[in-house]
Amino acid sequence: MILDVQEKYDQLSSAQKDIFAGYGLRQVKHFVEISLPKIEAVLPEGAYVQGINADGKVQAINVKTHQTYIWISDSQWQEHPIANENIDLKEDVIEVWKIFNLKSYELIDLSHVHRDFLESLSA
């Protein structure tokens, strides 16, 4: 179990608190440690992952060519116009992962941490 959840939660920015509440720590760990390495390994040349859009799709952009992409499967990017608003930035997701030291936990141990914590705040 994660100790000092409140202390760690207080270190998060507003956007990072939204990520914590919306995805939970299990999804953050899965994204950073499992999905992101696979996704970045097959990025189109010159592109970088921006984050996750409001539709739940990982999106990337090449700032030199202004080409934009969304992740459509387990191994493929597709050129696609993307949203510039309501993006959960990759950097914010990684920061949540760092603050909570999620590399030290198994996925299964993280399943209800965010829900239990948020319920305790509203009680």
What residue has token string 């700032």? 63
pLDDT score of 85 more than 80 = no
What size, in residues, is the chain? Answer: 123
pLDDT score of 69 more than 80 = yes
pLDDT top residue among 54 and 99: 99
Rounded mean pLDDT of the chain? 92
pTM of the model: 0.92
pLDDT score of 14 more than 80 = yes
- pLDDT tens for residues 40-67? 999 999 999 999 998 889 999 999 999 9
Nearest 5°: phi and psi at 46?
85, -5
How far is 90 from 94, CA to CA, in rounded Å? Answer: 6
pLDDT score of 123 more than 90 = no
Share above pLDDT 90 across residues of the chain, in percent, rounded to a whole number: 74
pLDDT score of 95 more than 90 = yes
